[in-house]
Chains A and B, each alone.
Chain A
Amino acid sequence: MVRRIEKGTVLDHLPAGSALSIMNLLKLEDNLVVVAVNVLSSRYGTKDMIKIEGKLLSKAESDKIGLIAPNATINIIRGGRVMSKGRASPPEEIKGILRCPNKKCITNFEQCETKFIRTGDKYKCVFCESHFSVRDFELQPS
């Protein structure tokens, strides 16, 4: 995609149409970013791709991508070479980055770190014990 990069991250196999929300989520304001949307893919029909120069994703950031794009491939590039190629996967545990969608959950009233644990295809708030699917969450930029 365009030119080789020395250091950065390439996100591949993103669901078509998800690139913009992922960029918002990762707050990519200061990085050079190249985006391709609706790329033909043998696996998924069409897909989106994002190439970010100079940025290596943190665990929390890959977890977020795992939430929206569970089949995404995350390529970490160092010294011009792909150092690791991982599949984003739905995280087992999400700490702090999401608000609880239950309006009567104590975490929406007090200063505290939220925590959700994966149970099958849902996430359980360890405080109010309610279960949510990914689309119930409003994802906040990091």
Chain B
Amino acid sequence: MKLRSKDLISAADLEKREVKAILEEAEHMLGTVRKGRQLKMLKGKILATLFFEPSTRTRLSFESAMTRLGGSVIGFSGTEGTSVRKGETLQDTVRNVENYADGIAMRHPLEGSARLAAQSVKIPVINGGDGANQHPTQALLDLFTIKQEKDLRNTRVALCGDLKYGRTVHSLMYLLPMFGTEISIVSPEVLGMPEHIMDEVEGRYGTRPEKQASLKEAVKWADVLYVTRIQRERFPDPNEYERVAGSYVVDSRLLSGAKKDMVILHPLPRVDEIKPEVDSTPYAKYFDQTFYGVVVRMALLNMLMGGGRHG
């Protein structure tokens, strides 16, 4: 199946049937990768990875996905030595790249950059993160990971940590309720979920995600605990950070209150919000996400750059 748009810019643009199709395609990709089959659907096609802001993991994941589909990759990471440093506009950069490549995966520090790039070229553009706005492929791989572990319907997902600037939790707010997944949120007051997202989710799905009083309460409630990083520089008052950050750390003592089959996800990189002692518990699924990220991106690349057919 082809997506309605030529691009993937924001989770808010996706309809449920499109998300379902992406998850199904990713499931198929997972099967072929596990069998060790080399695919050829994108043979002869070139993906340009334009990382105006460096990100090792997301870029490698796109490159791995493209290579596994038989395609090849060109691109840059960081703007050092590129025409961007000489003042070239984003619109001119992507119009040039359009002559070298059949698709673009990009990350850019400014919000709305992927949308602007997409309207400047005819080839597909995939948003790999635009400032604090959206990171739809991360949200889709989170969704895929939850689906591998749980039935999406009637599962309770607690989003915790930095819900104000965390772009993947914004995307998840749109995607999870499509499948009847229950969401609740817990965060320091200054890093709360933006009201306009709460309003939009309530308008679309008729329910407003509940706030949990503390991380401890959220752990008791949840089937899936989605942890995000709380960054010191997000706090206007450093004392506030010192006061608050400690109560958002996941360790084995906290997990004693959890359901036995609860799983913990994290968009990585993590710093100290999940203690290393948790890594060896059955709760920890955050490293599996990295693997699922490749198959989800394979699905998206095939749907946007290929015929969307299995080869």
List the interface of chain A (C-beta within 8 A of B).
100, 102, 104-107, 109-112, 119-120, 122, 124-131
Interface-located stretch among B130-138, B206-214, B228-236? B130-138
Are A107's CB and B116's CB within 8 A? yes
Interfacial chain A residues near B302, Cβ < 8 Å: none
Q: Is the CB of A119 within 8 A of B200?
A: yes
> Are A125 and B112 in contact (CB-based, < 8 A)?
yes
| Interface flag for B91 (CB, 8 Å) | yes
Report whether A104 and B111 are in contact in the complex, using a CB–CB cutoff of 8 Å: yes
Check B38 for interface membership: any CB of A closer than 8 A: no
A117 to nearest B CB, angstroms?
Answer: 12
Contact residue among B109, B111, B116, B203 (Cβ-Cβ distance under 8 Å from A129): B111
Pairwise interchain contact B115-A126, C-beta atoms closer than 8 A: yes
Give the complex CA separation of A111 and B111 in angstroms.
15
Q: Does B145 make an interface contact (CB < 8 A)?
A: no
Q: How far is the CB of A102 from chain B (nearest CB, A)?
A: 6
Interface residues of B (CB under 8 A from A): 10, 12, 89-91, 108-113, 115-116, 130-134, 196, 199-200, 203
Minimal beta-carbon separation of A17 from chain B (angstroms): 29
Of chain B, the residue at the smallest CB distance from A100 is B112
- CB-nearest residue of chain A relative to B134? A129
Q: Is the CB of A105 within 8 A of B89?
A: no
How many angstroms between the C-alpha atoms of A133 and B290 in the bound complex? 39
Q: Is the CB of A110 within 8 A of B10?
A: no
Q: Is there an interface contact between A122 and B131, defined as CB atoms closer than 8 Å? A: no
> Which one of A104, A109, A122 contacts B196 once the chains associate, using CB atoms below 8 Å?
A122
Residue of A nearest to B120 (CB): A112
Collect the chain B residues with CB atoms within 8 Å of residue A106's CB: 90, 108, 110-113, 115-116, 130
In the complex, chain A residues whose CB is within 8 Å of the CB of B91? 110-112
What chain B residues lie within 8 Å of A109 (beta carbons)?
A: 90, 110
What 9 A-B pairs are tightest by C-beta distance, nearest first? A127-B112, A128-B111, A131-B196, A128-B112, A106-B112, A106-B110, A106-B113, A127-B115, A106-B116
A100 proximity list for chain B (CB < 8 A): 112
Q: Given known contacts A105-B111, A110-B116, A122-B196, is B131 in contact with A129 (CB within 8 Å)?
A: no
Closest A-chain residue to B117, C-beta based? Answer: A106
CA distance in complex: A117, B203 (Å): 16
> Residue A105 contacts which of B90, B112, B199 (CB distance < 8 angstroms)?
B112
28 contacts between A and B (CB under 8 A): A102-B111, A104-B109, A104-B111, A105-B111, A106-B108, A106-B110, A106-B112, A106-B113, A106-B115, A106-B116, A107-B112, A107-B116, A109-B110, A110-B90, A110-B91, A110-B116, A111-B91, A112-B116, A120-B203, A122-B196, A127-B112, A127-B115, A128-B112, A129-B12, A129-B111, A129-B112, A129-B134, A130-B133
Most chain B Cβ neighbours within 10 Å, of A119, A122, A127: A127
Minimum CB distance partner of B10 in chain A: A129
B89 partner residues in chain A, CB cutoff 8 A: 110-111
Complex interface: chain A residues within 8 A of B110 (CB): 104-106, 109
Q: In the assembled complex, how far is the CB of residue A96 from the closest CB belonging to chain B, in whole angstroms?
A: 14
In angstroms, Cα B203 to Cα A122, docked, is 14
Given known contacts A122-B196, A129-B12, what 4 new A-B pairs fall within 8 Å (CB)?
A100-B112, A105-B112, A111-B89, A128-B112
How many whole Å from B289's CB to the nearest CB in chain A? 24
